[in-house]
Amino acid sequence: MDRLMLQREALDAEAIRSNLERIRAEVAEACARSGRDPAAVELLAATKYVSRGGMEALAEAGVTLVGENRAQELAAKHRQWGGRFTWDFIGHLQSNKVRQVLPLVRLIHSVESLSVVRELQRRAEKPTDVFLQVNVGEEGGKYGIIPSEVDRFLEEASKFSMVNFTGLMTMPPLAADPNSSRAAFAALRNRAEQLSQAWQGRYLFQHLSMGTSNDYLVAVEEGATIIRLGNVLYGGRESKG
């Protein structure tokens, strides 16, 4: 078992509650700086390194939205805690895992292949909201559609009526300074605005899933509607990724 997973066995609900209150206050200040409504920003607890037992502390602390990276862990945690949280999937999704993930989540943040789109079309019982993952930094080895391929991808994806793109997700290049991510976040916001115009009547890219523990306030200032938080919520600062 991962050492972080072991540490999360003993998560402190009161400490998480305190961190949650502080983060909400910081987000409200960031929204005030950028002329936004704090109610437009959702705080998602990333649970990749939270054990199944550790989920109890999140529930006690008042966390309501969680995001899991792995289909198997999502299924296991959902069996035990399904009614206590709203669930999103935020990790890399393989087409052969769509059947397992789809019934359990509100949103999939990480669609970036047509094979997944096809499988969602095949498995969905109703139109399914998803985000397109964009590799804004065009980094080799990182998941996501590079910006120059987004339009071509959506042209193909638009043929599948059960898959509804409602937002974009990104993880910018790793950097120690949170402000180093600002340009990437701004670029994603601008791209979402362009796509909403270009795909008016088909897709509305109104959500931006961006920002992690290291740079969530910059992300909020640049338009994030969902921030994905790990160590900053559980007890420390983390580099993003």
User: What pLDDT, on a 0 to 100 scale, did the predictor assign at position 22?
Assistant: 97
Tell me if 111 sits within 8 A of 117, measured CB to CB.
Answer: yes
240 located within any domain: no
**Burial zone of 59 (CB within 10 Å; 0-12 exposed, 13-18 middle, 19+ buried):** middle
Q: What CATH number corresponds to the domain at position 79?
A: 3.20.20.10
Domain count, the chain: 1
CA 73 to chain centre: 16
With the C-alpha atoms ordered 195, 201, 205, 206, is the resulting torsion angle positive or negative? Answer: positive
239 located within any domain: no
User: What pLDDT, on a 0 to 100 scale, did the predictor assign at position 133?
Assistant: 98
205 located within any domain: yes
32 located within any domain: yes
* Residue 39 neighbours by CB under 8 Å, 6+ apart: none
Q: Residue 239 is inside which H or E element, if any?
A: none
Domain that holds residue 136: 3-234
User: What pLDDT, on a 0 to 100 scale, did the predictor assign at position 9?
Assistant: 59
Tell me if 131 sits within 8 A of 167, measured CB to CB.
Answer: yes
221 located within any domain: yes
User: What pLDDT, on a 0 to 100 scale, did the predictor assign at position 174?
Assistant: 86
Closest CA to 93 of 65, 79, 64, 113: 113
> Which residues of the chain fall short of a pLDDT of 50?
1-8, 237-241
Cβ–Cβ contacts within 10 Å for residue 198, how many?
13
176 located within any domain: yes
DSSP summary character for residue 7 = H
241 located within any domain: no
197 located within any domain: yes
List C-alpha distances in Å: 48 to 90, 198, 225, 228.
9, 35, 21, 11
